[in-house]
A and B are shown apart, each in its own frame.
Chain A
């Protein structure tokens, strides 16, 4: 199994600012996945982060808004840029090691 640590666990941010979320895995993984969970909704994939290449974004998500870094096989960051209240969500990272494991999520509130 994989243990995933996400930081911060929650934050309240002013609109127009940016927040970087960190995801650390206790083992090396090829791909890391970033999901968004809006209030009362299911999880939606934002992008897939592969070490050594640019992240692959899903429809409706763009790199300028959600830049992702993947500097090594155990770490990734997701930045939520120029935030608005509509960005208030839980953001989760995930890895697949036979089964998908998730971090505990970052609960973001934009005011």
Chain B
């Protein structure tokens, strides 16, 4: 479950299992959504994005699902590996370029070998 204060929500999965990380976004006018991975001591790294005219997009081992009706975004990671352990953030903006991103709270993924 979600904690308050300084603690990010944590998802623990066994190596090889699939991971699903969820995000609720706030702005119904947002039309561009991105998932970022942040490893310790590093800046956020782009994983996958999706525009509001789509409800699903697949990458290598990752899938993003967008449900605009309930303003919900999810990231699915197939066959989770120890290297996937990181904090994952969803972000949104209006997709017009040169506009700042609004980040979600983040989820810490911990992969158990």
Contacts and interface: CB of A to CB of B under 8 A. Distances in A.
Interface string B1-32: 00001111000000000000000000000000
Contact of A41 (B6, B43, B91, B97): B6
B34 A99 contact: yes
Given A30-B98, A31-B98, A98-B97, A42 B105 contact: yes
A15 interface: no
Which of B6, B100, B104 has most chain A Cβ within 10 Å? B100
A105 B43 contact: yes
Nearest to A45: B100
A41 B107 CA distance: 10
B103 A43 contact: yes
A31 B98 CA distance: 6
Q: Is the interface of A mostly helix, strand, loop or mixed?
A: strand
A39 B103 contact: no
B101 A100 contact: yes
B6 A96 contact: no
A103 B49 CA distance: 19
A3 to B, nearest CB: 12
Interface of A: 4, 30-31, 33, 39-45, 48, 92, 94, 96, 98-105, 107
27 contacts: A40-B6, A40-B7, A40-B8, A41-B105, A42-B103, A42-B105, A42-B106, A43-B44, A43-B101, A43-B103, A44-B103, A45-B100, A48-B100, A94-B100, A94-B101, A96-B97, A96-B99, A99-B34, A100-B91, A100-B101, A101-B46, A102-B45, A103-B43, A104-B43, A105-B41, A105-B43, A107-B41
